[in-house]
Amino acid sequence: MTRRYNRREFLAAAVAATAACGKTRPPNILFALADDQSWLHTSISGDPNVKTPNFDRIAREGLRFNHSYCASPSCTPSRSAILMGRHIWQAGEGGVLYGTLPPQIPLFPHLLADVGYHIGFAGKGWGPGEWQAGGLTRPPIGKEYNRRKLEHPVSSGISDDNYAADFQDFIDDRPASAPFFFWFGSREPHRLYQEGFGVAQGKHLDAVKVPPFWPDSKEVRGDILDYCAEIDWFDRQLGEMLGLLEKKGELDRTLVVVTSDNGMPFPRAKANLYDWGVRMPMAMRWPARIQPGVTDDFASHIDLAPTFLEAAGLTPPAGTSGTSLLRTGARRDCVYTGMERHTWCRPEGATYPMRAIRTRDFLYIRNFKPDRWPTGGPDFVSSNKTFHGDVDEGPTKTFMVAQPEKYPRQFEQSFGKRPEEELYDLAKDEFQMNNVAADGKYKEPKEKLWARLRKCLEETGDPRIAGQDPWQGYVYRQTIGFGATFNRSLPESEREEARKRASHKPE
Helices 408-415 and 395-402 cross at an angle (nearest 10°) of 120
Please tell me whether residue 493 adopts helix, strand or coil conformation: helix
Give the contacts of 263 (CB within 8 A, at least 6 positions apart).
Answer: 36, 37, 38, 70, 73, 269, 270, 272, 275, 276, 277, 278, 279, 280
Q: Does residue 155 contact residue 196 with C-beta atoms inside 8 Å?
A: no
pLDDT value for 484: 39
The whole-number pLDDT of residue 381 equals: 87
**How far apart, in whole angstroms, are the C-alpha atoms of residue 408 and residue 85?**
40
The per-residue pLDDT string of the chain (507 residues; one tens digit each, 9 = 90 and over) reads 455 545 445 444 444 444 434 356 899 999 999 999 999 999 999 999 999 999 999 999 999 999 999 999 999 999 999 999 999 999 999 999 999 999 999 999 999 999 999 999 999 999 999 999 999 999 999 999 999 999 998 999 999 999 999 999 999 999 988 999 999 999 999 999 999 999 999 999 999 999 999 999 999 999 999 999 999 999 999 999 999 999 999 999 999 999 999 999 999 999 999 999 999 999 999 999 999 999 999 999 999 999 999 999 999 999 999 999 997 555 689 999 999 999 999 998 999 999 999 999 999 999 999 999 999 999 998 888 889 999 999 999 999 999 999 999 999 999 999 999 999 999 999 999 999 999 999 999 999 999 999 999 999 999 999 999 999 899 998 854 433 344 434 344 544 544 443 333 333
Residue 210's Cβ-count burial label (10 Å; 0-12, 13-18, 19+) is: middle
pTM of the prediction? 0.91
Q: Where are the alpha helices (DSSP H) in 405-477?
A: 408-415, 443-459
How much is the pLDDT for 4? Answer: 59
Identify the sign of the CA torsion 156, 157, 159, 163.
Answer: negative
Rounded to 10 degrees, the C-alpha dihedral 481/484/485/486 comes to -100
Residue 459 pLDDT: 98
**Residue pair 156/119 in contact by the 8 Å Cβ criterion:** no
Domains of the chain listed by start with CATH number: 4-11+31-319 (3.40.720.10), 338-472 (no CATH)
- Measure CA of the first residue to CA of the last residue in the chain; give whole Å: 54
DSSP 161: B
Q: Helices 304-311 and 75-84 sit at what angle, rounded to 10 degrees? A: 40
Residue 79's pLDDT is 98
> How far, rounded to the nearest angstrom, does the alpha carbon of residue 442 sit from its chain's CA centroid?
30
Angle at which helices 395-402 and 218-247 cross, to 10°: 160
